[in-house]
Amino acid sequence: MAHTIVNPEGLHNPVPYGYSHTAAVPAGTELVLIAGQYGSGPDGAVVSTDFTEQVKQTFRNIGTALAAHGLDLSHVVQLRTYVVDHDVSKLGPIAGAVQECWDKEPPTQTLIGVASLATPDVLFEVEAVAARP
């Protein structure tokens, strides 16, 4: 792993919520930027109208994009998460998917509630930054 995750004392424990507070990437580390992924299949169509299914497929798609660079989810340093019509009920599926992918050391993450995304059927989208060791 080319980065270090730190959740400092004095800040709440964010891991149960699916993120970490800080990540440090050493100088000279190559960054791989993953464009916004959503819950689509290989044809680009959304796989389900269900929010939780879109979340799970989105993270699978991020894994596929990373694999094209010889990386996996453990290399992710930062996520930017966009949620259509965000409310507290959507935090559980997001945190659950992140914990499934990263267990006890999730990347940093910012969640942004939005009115809409590229098409009306897209409910969830994530950008990722990964660090190549």
DSSP per-residue letters across 31-67: EEEEEEEESB-TTSSBS-S-HHHHHHHHHHHHHHHHH
For 43-49, the CB contacts below 8 A with 24+ separation are 46/119, 46/121, 46/122, 49/121, 49/123
Number of structural domains the chain divides into? 1
Q: Which domain holds residue 115?
A: 4-132
Q: Specify which residues 113 forms β-bridges with.
A: 83
Low-confidence ranges of the chain (pLDDT < 50): none
Global confidence as pTM:
0.94
Cα–Cα dist 56/77, whole Å: 19
Which of the 8 DSSP states describes residue 73? G
pLDDT of residue 1: 64
pLDDT of residue 133: 85
CATH number at residue 43: 3.30.1330.40
pLDDT of residue 2: 79
